[in-house]
Structure 1
Amino acid sequence: MGYESMSEKRYLTIEEIQSRMLAMMKDIKRFAAENNLTFVLTGGSALGAVRHHDFIPWDDDADLGLPRDQYEFFVANYKPQVPDAELLFFNTKADWNYPYARVADTKTIADNEFRTVANGVFVDVFPIDHMADSTRMQKFEYVTQKMLDIARNLARKNQWQPDEPGLWWKKIISPVVRLAPASYYVQRENRRARKIDHKYRTSHTAGLLTVIGVNGMKEFGQAAWYNQIIWVDFADTQMPVMKNYHDYLTFLYKDYTQIPAEADRKHHWGMYYR
């Protein structure tokens, strides 16, 4: 699905989406500077900053993280100053169905026929949590969190995707899982990640324990990666990435310098004006 107008909906172009994301990222940067917080771009946003000094040209979401204690301060105190933006988190939105925060544009909405996505153009804000150094314990933490995340996604599902992994058993457990709302699983995921971070506060392993997605256990890396940042040119401003971004991006993407073929350049969302 592209970004041109469909039916009566006015879809945003990728340039419009990225312009709105950049405005929100700049506002987060402002708040972080005013409150001595250290955030860092993660995932595809870090890749874009290093490889393109901007967003990846076809990317339509933005990701950043803060250490757990700073993240808790952020979600408790951040008030967007950029027009038409809001902070979404289960403390601010009772039916919020993600285990992390988003800063989102209130004038737009995501088009997703398979799951409920009650926000527009957004910047994801993740807690960076410490976890066990033991590979065995990391696998346990991942699998347990993954089960909660599957339940969360089933609870907010509108319809099945034809090629969905594990479709047969998801259909079996779905009626039981959906007895609770997605927000129930969101709070369990977040409480569990916070507890693990507290338990392993001095470990050498950290990452995005509330993000159980396509990267799987690759979200768990060296805590030292998050301890030192550098600022790089990003669009018309600067944004922070890990000083040791090479190891981080190689861990996530292998040869991150290679631009994928056009057929592999995936969009996540269609965004349209409300």
Structure 2
Amino acid sequence: MGFEYTQEIIRKMQMVELDMLKELDRICRENNITYVLDAGTLLGAYRHKGFIPWDDDVDVRMLRSEYERFCEVCKTQLNTKKYFLQNHKTDAGYRWGYARMLRNGTNFQRAGQDMLTMRRGIFIDIFPVDDLPEKKISKDIYNAKCWIARKMLYSEVALGNYKPGMNKFGFWILNLFPKEKAFKIFEKLSKKYNDKGFSKVRIQGWGDPVDTAGFKKEWFIDTDKIWFEDAWFTCPKDTEGFLEHSFGKDYMTLPPEESRKPRHTATSISFPEE
């Protein structure tokens, strides 16, 4: 049974996540690292001047080169008394192709993921984006390799949740490969295609159709500032174009009331001590 969210709990989570976003922004400003608000976080900033009221997370994106610099400077500049930068290099149990910043002293237990051994906590997602080849056949092969690597990483969760059948059998085969194999696939794609002059990028570890189609690379280079809750953060200068690509032309229209709920189903949540 999922954790029962209340508006009070959602807002409390949002404030913890806002503190982490400010820490990320501080590190990026002090080291000239470029990021942009992403997904519902950017939509919230543009449409609500802060969090979407029912949103339960924060998303940011960075070009791969900026992401690697961010991970490196966090080794010495992140406030480790409060935060932990989580990726497959800092947490042996972590299985996703992007990083998270966790708030120490918290817990966020995602439903259906009890089998994972990674550290838990209230988090924000930090997505690296990599250059996407333009020729259709190269792009299709690139996206297929990302799909395979992503499913390899997800296989542990799938085996614990899927009913017996061909899908579960497929994940059983994928789970025979060590997760490091998936990260090697991502790494080889980055080295092969990055900095070759391509105009679009994608998150390798994310399978949304808007990512497989690619985002304009310029959105991560030509940036501006946007107000979010109580501070300024970085956004694409063409925020409207970014949001239309992400959500369609009607991104300013609120969804039906029955759809206004957090998307991360949890079985338990705990907050830092006051």
Q: TM-score, normalised by structure 1?
A: 0.86
TM-superposed CA distance for 1:98, in Å, is 1.1
57, 75, 86: which one pairs with 2:84? 86
Aligned to 1:265: 260
1:223 aligned onto 2:207 = no
Amino acid at match of 1:138: K
What runs of 5+ residues in structure 2 fail to find an aligned partner?
A: none
**Helix, strand or coil at the partner of 1:211:** coil
Amino acid at match of 1:265: R
Pair 1:157–1:107, CA change in 2 (3 A): farther
Pair 1:186–1:45, CA change in 2 (3 A): farther
Distance (Å, rounded) in 2 between the aligned partners of 1:12 and 1:272: 13
Aligned to 2:241: 247
Amino acid at match of 2:161: W
Percent of counterpart pairs with the same letter?
Answer: 23
Aligned to 1:7: none
CA RMSD of aligned residues (A): 2.4
Amino acid at match of 1:60: D
**Helix, strand or coil at the partner of 1:179:** coil
How does 1:165-180 map onto structure 2 within 5 Å?
Answer: 168-180=165-177
Pair 1:3–1:145, CA change in 2 (3 A): same
Aligned to 2:150: 149
Pair 1:95–1:28, CA change in 2 (3 A): same
Distance (Å, rounded) in 2 between the aligned partners of 1:193 and 1:209: 9
Aligned to 2:27: 31
1:194 aligned onto 2:196 = no
- 1:97–1:156 contact (8 Å) kept in structure 2: no
**Helix, strand or coil at the partner of 1:238:** strand
Segment drifting more, 78-87 vs 143-152: 78-87
Aligned to 1:95: 93
101, 106, 109: which one pairs with 1:108? 106
TM-superposed CA distance for 1:227, in Å, is 1.6
1:210 aligned onto 2:212 = no
Q: TM-score, normalised by structure 2?
A: 0.86
**Helix, strand or coil at the partner of 1:13:** helix
TM-superposed CA distance for 1:261, in Å, is 0.9
- The number of equivalent residue pairs is 261
TM-superposed CA distance for 1:90, in Å, is 1.8
